[in-house]
């Protein structure tokens, strides 16, 4: 009795067997997954300012509110680990003094123009002060203190900022103004 080996591949003469096709499928799935994860990380970490300024605002009031959103991202970036790439800050040392060092006597100016060119946004940022976070000494309080910060330790105080954003339309001379107080745990 003779036991002959048989070649069970379907595409023997085509050049790509079952194992090769499975490898190509796995590589395509892995590449698409990496692109998806990279896109999500890009949106979360790097392009929030682009997303805010690329919005198409319907009114100057919405554009002024967009200036507040943009400034809160500037505050997060200077206080956090991301750093800034200008982001419309007119004087970087003033912004660092106001945001990071909380010097109350100075103010920072941030200017931006929407991507469609319809609105110009001007923001004045001031530091109002800082207070210790309630419950920092282990006392039970409601609401509980914030979770771990980006630096790895628990934040010990809140810093309060005053954001005054005004927007003007380039088409007709309409103005919009939004003022906000932003609280950041540091």
Cα 132 to Cα 150: distance, rounded to the nearest angstrom = 18
Identify which of 65, 69, 75 has the alpha carbon closest to the alpha carbon of residue 51.
69
Kindly give the pairing relationship between strand 175-185 and strand 119-132. Answer: unpaired
Report the percent of the chain where pLDDT is more than 90: 26
| Mean of all residue pLDDT scores within the chain | 79
pLDDT value of residue 123? 93
d(CA 136, CA 173): 49
pLDDT at 149 over 50: no
What pLDDT digit, counting tens, does each position of 66-80 carry? 999 988 888 888 876
Q: Can you tell me the distance from the alpha carbon of 123 to that of 131, in angstroms, rounded to the nearest whole number?
A: 24
């Amino acid at each position: 009795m003779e036991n002959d080996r048989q070649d069970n591949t379907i595409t023997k003469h085509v050049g790509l067997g079952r194992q090769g096709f499975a490898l190509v499928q796995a590589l395509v799935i892995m590449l698409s997954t990496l692109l998806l994860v990279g896109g999500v990380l890009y949106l979360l970490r790097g392009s929030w300012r682009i997303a805010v300024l690329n919005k198409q605002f319907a009114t100057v009031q919405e554009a002024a509110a967009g200036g507040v959103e943009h400034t809160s991202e500037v505050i997060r970036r200077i206080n956090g680990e991301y750093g800034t790439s200008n982001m419309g800050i007119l004087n970087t040392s003033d912004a660092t003094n106001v945001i990071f060092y909380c010097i109350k006597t100075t103010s920072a100016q941030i200017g931006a123009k929407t991507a469609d060119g319809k609105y110009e946004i001007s923001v004045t940022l001031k530091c109002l002060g800082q207070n210790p976070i309630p419950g920092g000494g282990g006392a039970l309080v409601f609401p509980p203190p914030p979770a771990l910060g980006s630096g790895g330790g628990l934040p010990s105080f809140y810093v309060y900022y005053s954001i005054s954003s005004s927007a003007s339309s380039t088409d007709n001379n309409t103005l919009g103004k939004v003022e906000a107080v932003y609280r950041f745990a540091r």
